[in-house]
Structure 1
Amino acid sequence: MTRLTANDFDPEVLKLFDQYVHGQLDRRGFLAQAGRYAVGGATATSLLAALSPSFAAQMIAPTDARIKASFVEFPSPNGYGTLRGYLVEPAKVTAKLPVLLVVHENRGLNPHIEDIARRIALDGFIAFAPDALFPLGGYPGDEDKARELFAKLDQTKTRADFAEAARIATTLPHASGKVGVVGFCWGGGIANYLATAAPQISAAVPFYGQQPPASEVAKIKIPLLIHDAEKDERVRAGWPAYETALKANKVDYQYFVYPGAEHGFNNDTTPRYDAANAKLAWQRTMDFFKAKLAG
Structure 2
Amino acid sequence: MFEPIKFATKGGGDATGEMVAPEGEGRAPAVVLIQEWWGLNGQIRDIAQKLAKEGFVVAMPDLYHGRWTVDAEEAAKLMNALDWPRALDEIAGAAAFLASHPRSNGNVGIIGFCLGGALSFAAATKIPELKAVVPYYGLPPAGSVDYTNVKAPILAHFASQDEWARADLAQKLQAEMNGRGQSMELHVYEAGHAFSHEARRDVYVPEAAKLAWSRTVAFLHKHLG
TM-score (norm 1): 0.70
- Residues 128 and 152 in structure 2, CA contact (< 8 A), matched pair in contact too: no
Q: What CA distance in whole angstroms lies between the structure 2 residues aligned with 1:208 and 1:142?
A: 19
Query: Aligned pair 1:122/2:31, yes or no?
Result: no
- Residues 128 and 150 in structure 2, CA contact (< 8 A), matched pair in contact too: no
Q: What CA distance in whole angstroms lies between the structure 1 residues aligned with 2:69 and 2:173?
A: 35
Shift of 1:170: 0.5
Partner of 2:152: 222
Letter in 2 for 1:292: H
Shift of 1:122: 0.3
Shift of 1:240: 4.1
- Residues 181 and 191 in structure 1, CA contact (< 8 A), matched pair in contact too: yes
Partner of 1:153: 82
Shift of 1:245: 1.7
Q: 1:273 aligns with which of 204, 212, 224?
A: 204
Following superposition of structure 1 onto structure 2, how do residues 138-287 of structure 1 map, counting pairs within 5 Å?
Answer: 138-144=66-72, 145-211=74-140, 213=143, 216-236=146-166, 237-259=168-190, 261-270=191-200, 271-287=202-218
Q: Secondary structure at the match of 1:90?
A: coil
**RMSD, aligned α-carbons:** 2.0
Q: Secondary structure at the match of 1:283?
A: helix
The 1:177–1:256 alpha-carbon spacing in structure 2 relative to 1, beyond 3 Å, is same
Shift of 1:213: 4.0
Q: Greater strand percent: which structure? A: 2
Q: Secondary structure at the match of 1:257?
A: strand
- Residues 214 and 241 in structure 1, CA contact (< 8 A), matched pair in contact too: no
Q: What CA distance in whole angstroms lies between the structure 2 residues aligned with 1:243 and 1:120?
A: 26
Following superposition of structure 1 onto structure 2, how do residues 82-101 of structure 1 map, counting pairs within 5 Å?
Answer: 82-93=14-25, 95-101=26-32
Q: Secondary structure at the match of 1:226?
A: strand
> What does the per-residue CA deviation read over 1:60-82, in whole Å, with 9 as the maximum and x for residues that have no partner?
xxxxxxxx321111233627x32
Q: Secondary structure at the match of 1:230?
A: strand
Aligned length: 221
> What does the per-residue CA deviation read over 1:215-241, in whole Å, with 9 as the maximum and x for residues that have no partner?
722211211111101111332242243
Q: Secondary structure at the match of 2:139?
A: coil
Q: Secondary structure at the match of 2:95?
A: helix
Q: 1:78 aligns with which of 11, 21, 27?
A: 11
Shift of 1:147: 3.8
The 1:77–1:194 alpha-carbon spacing in structure 2 relative to 1, beyond 3 Å, is closer
Following superposition of structure 1 onto structure 2, how do residues 38-77 of structure 1 map, counting pairs within 5 Å?
Answer: 68-76=1-9
Shift of 1:118: 0.7
Q: What CA distance in whole angstroms lies between the structure 1 residues aligned with 2:147 and 2:45?
A: 30
Identity of aligned residues (%): 31
Shift of 1:198: 0.4
Q: What CA distance in whole angstroms lies between the structure 2 residues aligned with 1:196 and 1:75?
A: 20
The 1:166–1:129 alpha-carbon spacing in structure 2 relative to 1, beyond 3 Å, is same
The 1:263–1:218 alpha-carbon spacing in structure 2 relative to 1, beyond 3 Å, is same
Letter in 1 for 2:18: Y
Q: What CA distance in whole angstroms lies between the structure 2 residues aligned with 1:205 and 1:160?
A: 19
Q: What CA distance in whole angstroms lies between the structure 2 residues aligned with 1:256 and 1:114?
A: 24
Q: What CA distance in whole angstroms lies between the structure 2 residues aligned with 1:230 and 1:141?
A: 27
Q: Secondary structure at the match of 2:165?
A: helix
Letter in 2 for 1:130: P
The 1:142–1:229 alpha-carbon spacing in structure 2 relative to 1, beyond 3 Å, is closer
Q: What CA distance in whole angstroms lies between the structure 1 residues aligned with 2:126 and 2:9?
A: 16
Q: What CA distance in whole angstroms lies between the structure 2 residues aligned with 1:83 and 1:284?
A: 31
Shift of 1:277: 0.5
Letter in 1 for 2:62: D
